[in-house]
Amino acid sequence: MERNRHLRKVTQVALLVALAVVVSLMFAPILVITGAMVRINASHTIAQLVPIIFGPIYGGIASGMANLIAYVIRPQGAWLWHITVLEIFCGILLGVLWKVVRIRHRFTKLLVLIFIVDMIYSTLNTLGFIMFLPAMQGMGFLVALTPRLLVAVALVVPKACVMMVLLNVYERYIARGERV
């Protein structure tokens, strides 16, 4: 019985990773805000479901795997290892925060935690770009960070709405084993 439960959990995580990869490959618009290019990665919304549903360990593994698989299927420039490490870290962080933070209303909890994790992700991602990419080393940190934070803040509510719908669908149909 325990083995079937574990197999079911791994299968569901693998399906969410596959969905995140497909979304990443199909929908990733690039915005130019104040001269800085910002890529909106819609797969984060799917990948951030895993730590909420299955916990921080599965969340970190799934986030890292989604990033690596998407890069292997369709590379968009050089592979930047710090982004994969950051994806793993943010998957673990969201899972831990979801278990630790006590906010009764689930949508409010989603908003707060997505905001926190996305601000940390944007800040560390920008810092990594400035440290590891020669083209961005002359750019000031705040100049590069500001458009990323603006996009992250603007996407908090839409991400939370999509995640709320997906969590409700998961709990209603998939977690109970019913057919959709």
Q: For the domain that residue 99 is a member of, what is the CATH number?
A: 1.10.1760.20
97 domain residue, yes or no? yes
Domain for residue 179, yes or no? Answer: no
Q: How many residues does the chain have?
A: 180
* Domain range for 100: 2-174
Q: Distance between CA atoms of 20 and 10, rounded to whole angstroms? A: 15
- Give how many domains the chain has, as a whole number: 1
pTM of the model: 0.84
In a domain, 113, yes or no: yes
Q: How far, CA to CA in Å, does 150 sit from each of 58, 88, 176?
A: 29, 23, 38
Q: What is the pLDDT along the chain (180 residues), one digit of tens a residue?
A: 677 888 888 888 999 999 888 888 787 666 555 555 666 677 788 889 999 999 999 999 999 999 899 888 888 777 788 889 999 999 999 999 999 999 989 999 999 999 999 999 989 988 887 777 766 666 777 777 888 888 888 889 989 999 999 999 888 887 766 544
Residue 59 counted as domain residue: yes
Q: CA-CA distances (angstroms) from residue 15 to 5, 19, 21?
A: 15, 6, 10
